[in-house]
Structure 1
C-alpha cells in the first residue's frame, strides 16, 4: 500500500495497551474493543503512567460526550433537542425541564451503567458515526491537520516547504524528550533508534504530547494578538484521579456527568475536538483563550497544531505550531487537580509538584484533597466532589474503597524548555465512609489531618535531631539532614497508607489514632537507633554549644522531649 493510501483507524485498529484481568497479559486493542470489554481489563499499560493518564482522559471525553446525550439504553434524553439540523447542534428544552431533572437523569444513567458492569452499545454507535475523524491518515487526520490547514494557519516563513518548526519523533517520546541541541544520555533507546517508533506507539505519543508539551518549539499560528507557546495542560495541573479494580470501574468513577466540581449543575453540551466542523473553527475558538465550558473539549485540548509528513519509506516528519492556551487559574471545570489559594491575587491555582517537592507523598497533603474545615481556603478537586455526590446519592456503597491516584511529569524547571525531568506516581486508598465521613465531632478527615500534623511534627523533630548530628560530625548539615529526613519519610509512607486504608466509619477514632502513634514511635526509634549505632568517638565527645556540650546523647534527649510533647505523653 502506498503512503497516500494508508489508513489506520483508531476505532477499529489496535493502539491502546491494556492488561487482561484473566491472563495478566498485555494486549493492544482498538477503541471499539476497549469499550466492549473494559470490564475484562485491569488497567491501561502504555509506555508511561503519564501516557496512560493522557489516554484515559481521551477515553473519558468519548464517554462524557455519549452519556451526556444518551441514557444507558441508548435513548436520547427527553430534555435534549436538536437546535440546528445542519450541524446537529444540541440544546436543552428549558421550558419543560429544570436542572434537577437533568441531574437525576444523568445520575440514573451513571448508576445503570455501573450496576450493569459494562458500557452499552451506544458508545460503539457513536464511534462508528465519527469514525472518519479517528483515522490517523484520513482527510482530517486524528489529532493532526493536513498540510493545507497547517500552511494556512502559520506565518508564510514557517510553512512546511521551509522545513521549519519540526519536532523529532524522539522529542514526542516523553521517555526520551531529546531536542536537537542536547542528547538524552540515559534514554531507553540510543542513536538512530530514538527516532524509530511503531505506528500504535506513535499514536499514543501524539495524544500524550498534546497533554505534556514542552516549550522548546518556537513556531506559532498566526493571531492578531501575541501569545507565548504554552506547556501541555496536564503539565499545568496537579493530576488526581480514581483507580478502580478494573478499567471499566476506573472509567466509571472518573466519568463526571454532573459538574459538581464547579459548584453548579448547569448542563453543557460536550464538544470534543473531533466534533468541530473544521480545524479553522476549532482554532478560532482557541484564539479566544477561554477555558472550555465542557469536559470533552477540555480533555481533548490541543497545545500544538501538528502535521505529519510521510516519506516513501513510511517515516514521519512532524511539524508543530503553538496554539493559544487558556489560563489555569480558577479553571474549576477541571476535575483532576488539587488547588492552592493565592492570597495576593485571590485566585485558585493548581497545586503543582516540583523537583523540590518530589519526595512529599500524597497523604502529607491530605488537606488539598479533602476540605477538612469549612473555614479553610481549600477548593476540593472536582473528582472528590463528584465521588461525594455519588456517595450521598447512594450510587456507590458506603464502605466502597476509593483509591486516589496522582500521576504526572515534572518539568526541568527551565522556563524556555519545560522538558520532562521526572515522572511521579502516588496513591492514597480510603473507604468512602472515611473520606466523606458525615460525623461532626469525630469527623475522620478532621482527625486524619490532626494525625498528619502530629506525624509531620515528629518528622520535624527528627530533622532537628539529625541536623544536630550533622553539626557534631562537621558535615554539610542541610544535605545530611535532608537525606536522613527523606529516608525517615520513606519509612513512614507505606505504614501510613496502610493505616489509612484500614480505617472505617465505625472505628473507635482514639483507638485507631493510638495504633498509628505507636507505629510512628516504633519507626522513629528504629531510625534513631541506626544513627546511634553508627556513632563515633566525636559523636560521644561532642562539640561546644550555646547550652553547653552538644553530643549524640544530648541531641537524643532533646529529640525525645519534643516527641513526648507532640505525642501528648
Structure 2
C-alpha cells in the first residue's frame, strides 16, 4: 500500500471543466473550481453521468457552507456552536423563525447570485476540512481504511482475504465489464481497461457510489439480512437546471430552503465526510432512515470501498451497505415522480430501455404541474426555481434549461449493468414555466399542444402500419421504426418552439404556428418515404374492406386525419 502517496481533492487537479475564455478542457482542484466557477462553462468529465455525480458533490459542499453562514461569511443567528466543529453545531429553535429564517436563506442565495461568484467561506471550509478530502491516509476520501473495512465485513471477506474485488473496468461506467464477459465495444482494450490515472480514479469512485450495479456480493455485517442495492441516482429520472456558466448551474441547483408544502423543519447539513467515523456512518445507514438534509443525500454511499495499492495500481474491495427506501423520498430534488395508487406513495419515475426514444418534452407533465387538481408531484428543483421567481431572485424572462442525464441499466435484476446513457434538455422562459394565469396558463396550453402532437404521431403510426401492410412486412416492427424516426424529426423543432415562448405571447397564435410547422414536418416525412417507394407500393393491395390501399391512398388518409386533428383548413 502506498502510504506516502498524497492527493488532496481540495488542492490537486482532478475535476475536468471547459473554460469560457478558450473553450478548452482544463483540469482543476475543488478550491480552484469554487474560486473561478464563472470562468468555466460546464463540467467535462468522462461521461455526463459522471458530471451529474460530481455536480451533486459540489452542491453538497455549497449547501453545507451556506446553510451555516450568509454571503458575508457570518454564521446564522439560529446556530449555536463553532462552524469549524460541525459535530458541536446545534439549532436554537427559539432563535429560528420559519419565515425570517427562510427570508435570510433566500437573501444569502440572492446576494451570491447577483455578485456572480462564491464567497471566501467556501474555500475557508475546504481548507479547514482538507484532511477529509485526502484520497490516501487514515481516512481516505469516499473509502474505508483497512481497520474500518475489516471491522465491518464478515471474517472471510477481510482485506487480507482479497475477496469481493471490483475491477477498475467495472467501476469505469464507460466499460462496466465483468471479469467473465468481455465487452468488445469499449474505449479501451485488453489490460488497458484496468489501467487508470489517479484523477480519473477519483472521478470514477464518486460516480460508482452513485451508479452502482448489483454484481458484487460482499455486504457489511448486519443483524438482519439485506440485498445489495444499486446507486441512489441509478433508479431516478434525473433532472437539474443548467446555466450559461458552471457558477450559474451550481447556483440554480443550490436549494437552501425546503419549499415543499409538506417539508420538515430546518435541518443541519451532514455530508458523509463530516460523520464522526466510517463505522459511525455505516451504523446510521443500518437504520435505513432517509436523510433529512441534502448534503447527506447527495453524498450517500452505496458501497463501503477499500483500495489497496501495488505498483501504482489499485485493487478495490467493495461491500454493500443497507440503503433507505425510494418511496416518498421527496427530499430528493433531482427526479420526476409517479404516484403509486397501490401503495399510496410517490416513487421516482425512472427510465428504462423501453422509454429510450421518448424525449423530455413528451413527458412535460412530469416536470411541471399542469392541472392543479392532479396528484402529480413536481421535481424539487422545479419547485425551487418557482420559489426563486416568486422571490424575484431570477428575472421573469430568464431562460431556464431543464436537463436530464439518465444512465439506464440492462434491466437484469442480478447485474443492473449500464446499457445506455440518455441526455436531453428542455428550455423555457421562467414566466412560461411558472405562468399563473388561470384560463390561459402556458403549462396547460403546452400540455394540450403535446397531446395534439401525440395524436398526430398516432396518425403517422397508422400510416406506417399501412405501408408495412402494402410491403408485406412485420407491421408492428416497421411502424415502430418509422414512428421513432418521425419523433426524431419533431424533437429539435418542438424544443425550439418551446424556447421561443414568452409570457406576453398570444397563446393561440403561437400554438397555430406550431401546428403549421407540425403539418410541414408530416408532409416532409411522407415525401421522404415516398421517394423510396417501389412498384408494389404504387400498385398496392386491397385492405380488409376490399378497398385499394397503396402509398397514395395511405398518404391521402393520413393528411385527412392530420388536418382534422390539427383543425387546419384544407388549402
TM-score w.r.t. the length of structure 1 is 0.98
Matches within 5 A, 1:161-240: 161-240=160-239
TM-fit CA distance, 1:527: 0.8
Give the equivalent residue in structure 1 for 2:524: 526
User: 1:314 is matched with which residue: 312, 330, 335?
Assistant: 312
SS state at 1:421 partner: strand
Matched, 1:36 2:65: no
User: 1:515 is matched with which residue: 513, 516, 532?
Assistant: 513
Matches within 5 A, 1:208-357: 208-261=207-260, 263-264=262-263, 266-311=265-310, 313-357=311-355
Give the equivalent residue in structure 2 for 1:416: 414
How far apart, CA to CA, are the structure 2 residues paired with 1:159 and 1:337? 37
How far apart, CA to CA, are the structure 2 residues paired with 1:263 and 1:69? 23
How far apart, CA to CA, are the structure 1 residues paired with 2:285 and 2:43? 30
Give the equivalent residue in structure 2 for 1:103: 102
TM-fit CA distance, 1:98: 1.3
Stretch of structure 1 that moved more, 390-399 or 86-95:
86-95
Give the equivalent residue in structure 2 for 1:458: 456
User: 1:473 is matched with which residue: 458, 461, 471?
Assistant: 471
- What is the aligned residue count? 567
| Structure 1: 4+ residue segments shifted above 4 A | 83-87
Contact 1:83 1:91 in 2 (8 A): no
Contact 1:262 1:382 in 2 (8 A): no
Contact 1:61 1:272 in 2 (8 A): yes
RMSD: 1.4
Contact 1:262 1:333 in 2 (8 A): no
How far apart, CA to CA, are the structure 1 residues paired with 2:34 and 2:85? 29
Matches within 5 A, 1:136-155: 136-155=135-154
User: 1:486 is matched with which residue: 484, 487, 495?
Assistant: 484
User: Judging changes above 3 Å, is the alpha-carbon distance between structure 1 residues 40 and 83 closer, same or farther for their aligned structure 2 residues?
Assistant: closer
User: Judging changes above 3 Å, is the alpha-carbon distance between structure 1 residues 453 and 318 closer, same or farther for their aligned structure 2 residues?
Assistant: same
TM-fit CA distance, 1:222: 0.2
Contact 2:208 2:231 in 1 (8 A): yes
SS state at 1:5 partner: coil
SS state at 1:8 partner: coil
Stretch of structure 1 that moved more, 519-528 or 256-265:
256-265
How far apart, CA to CA, are the structure 1 residues paired with 2:85 and 2:129? 16
SS state at 1:513 partner: helix
How far apart, CA to CA, are the structure 2 residues paired with 1:182 and 1:535? 43
SS state at 1:334 partner: coil
TM-fit CA distance, 1:472: 1.1
TM-fit CA distance, 1:531: 2.2
Contact 1:408 1:424 in 2 (8 A): yes
TM-fit CA distance, 1:560: 2.1
Stretch of structure 1 that moved more, 345-354 or 459-468:
345-354
Give the equivalent residue in structure 2 for 1:547: 545
Contact 1:132 1:138 in 2 (8 A): no
SS state at 1:505 partner: coil
TM-fit CA distance, 1:161: 1.4
TM-fit CA distance, 1:540: 2.6
Question: What are the superposed Cα offsets for residues 417-436 of structure 1, whole Å, 9 maximum, x if unpaired?
Answer: 01110011000000000000
SS state at 2:72 partner: coil
Question: What are the superposed Cα offsets for residues 21-70 of structure 1, whole Å, 9 maximum, x if unpaired?
Answer: 00111111111000000011010000001100000000000000000000
How far apart, CA to CA, are the structure 1 residues paired with 2:117 and 2:398? 19
TM-fit CA distance, 1:84: 11
How far apart, CA to CA, are the structure 2 residues paired with 1:91 and 1:473? 73
How far apart, CA to CA, are the structure 2 residues paired with 1:492 and 1:262? 36
TM-fit CA distance, 1:555: 2.0
User: 1:363 is matched with which residue: 361, 371, 386?
Assistant: 361
SS state at 2:353 partner: coil
Contact 1:258 1:265 in 2 (8 A): no
TM-fit CA distance, 1:204: 0.2
TM-fit CA distance, 1:263: 3.6
TM-fit CA distance, 1:171: 0.7
SS state at 1:289 partner: coil
Give the equivalent residue in structure 2 for 1:60: 59
TM-fit CA distance, 1:85: 10
User: Judging changes above 3 Å, is the alpha-carbon distance between structure 1 residues 3 and 475 closer, same or farther for their aligned structure 2 residues?
Assistant: same
TM-score w.r.t. the length of structure 2 is 0.97
Give the equivalent residue in structure 2 for 1:429: 427
How far apart, CA to CA, are the structure 1 residues paired with 2:153 and 2:23? 47
Gaps of 5+ in 1: none
How far apart, CA to CA, are the structure 2 residues paired with 1:29 and 1:495? 37
Contact 1:237 1:328 in 2 (8 A): no
Give the equivalent residue in structure 2 for 1:159: 158
TM-fit CA distance, 1:265: 6.3
Give the equivalent residue in structure 2 for 1:45: 44
Give the equivalent residue in structure 2 for 1:567: 566
How far apart, CA to CA, are the structure 2 residues paired with 1:262 and 1:328? 19
TM-fit CA distance, 1:327: 1.1
How far apart, CA to CA, are the structure 2 residues paired with 1:52 and 1:507? 36
SS state at 2:238 partner: coil
Gaps of 5+ in 2: none
